[in-house]
Amino acid sequence: MDTTGACRCKEGFFTSPQNGLCLSCDKDCQSCQKAGACSSCKAPAKLGTTRCLTCAPTEFMAGDTCQSCSSQVRHCSKCEPHQQQVVCSACQSGFKLNSQGFCSCPEDSYLDSARGICTRCPSTCSSCSNDGTCTACADPAQIVIEGKCAPLVCPAGTFRNTTSGQCKACAVNC
């Protein structure tokens, strides 16, 4: 009974407007005002617009449906809505979460788009572009020339070839 002396349905039920009987709320509803309109949910379900949903970790709630993270952001193992967009809160194995909530390859790797995995840069590179071309060298005594690491200063008896950027042996009569 409520404070006016009228009968009230217990939690998980609502009063039918047709006959005044207590009818059960939807399966995952903790409480509701009418059929199909939850106002709170049983754990672990969360309240959407009007329904209680239990989305998988690789899904996020959009209104009254669970949507796949991969439909919005790539390489997420867990995502969530955040300020009008979907962001990752955890990444698939081999990827790292950046400060904007997106998954990317670690600094010393690049995304092999054909296979959808992070692939290590060549060992001479500290970072590289999407085809494995060096963008920075692991050895500070080297520079990037045409996507490959080459010595910063060519050793005695060699010169830098202007076409390839590589150090080449001087001719015998130099």
Evaluate if pTM is beyond 0.85: no
Work out the percent of the chain whose per-residue pLDDT is above 90.
27
Given this model, what pLDDT does residue 2 score?
A: 55
Residue 161 resides in a domain:
no
Residue 7 resides in a domain:
yes
Instruction: Report the C-alpha gap between 146 and 139 in whole angstroms.
Output: 16
Q: Of 105, 104, 142, whose CA–CA distance to 123 is shortest?
A: 142
Given this model, what pLDDT does residue 53 score?
A: 92
Residue 29 resides in a domain:
yes
Answer for the pair 147, 133: CB distance below 8 angstroms, yes or no.
Answer: yes
* 81-96 CB burial, b ≥16 within 10 A, e <16: eeeeebbbeebbeebe
With cut-offs at 50, 70 and 90, classify the pLDDT of residue 3: low
Q: Which structural domain range is residue 38 located in?
A: 1-53
Among 22-31, 39-48, 71-80, 134-143, which is the least confidently predicted range?
71-80
Instruction: Provide mean pLDDT across the span 152-157.
Output: 83
Residue 18 resides in a domain:
yes
Given this model, what pLDDT does residue 173 score?
A: 73
Instruction: Provide mean pLDDT across the span 101-114.
Output: 88
- Judged against a pLDDT cut of 90, whether residue 30 lies above it is answered with yes
- Judged against a pLDDT cut of 90, whether residue 96 lies above it is answered with yes
Work out the percent of the chain whose per-residue pLDDT is above 70.
95
Residue 70 resides in a domain:
no
Count structural domains, the chain: 1
Residue 89 resides in a domain:
no
Residue 43 resides in a domain:
yes
Residue 62 resides in a domain:
no
Given this model, what pLDDT does residue 41 score?
A: 93
- Judged against a pLDDT cut of 80, whether residue 60 lies above it is answered with yes
Given this model, what pLDDT does residue 4 score?
A: 63
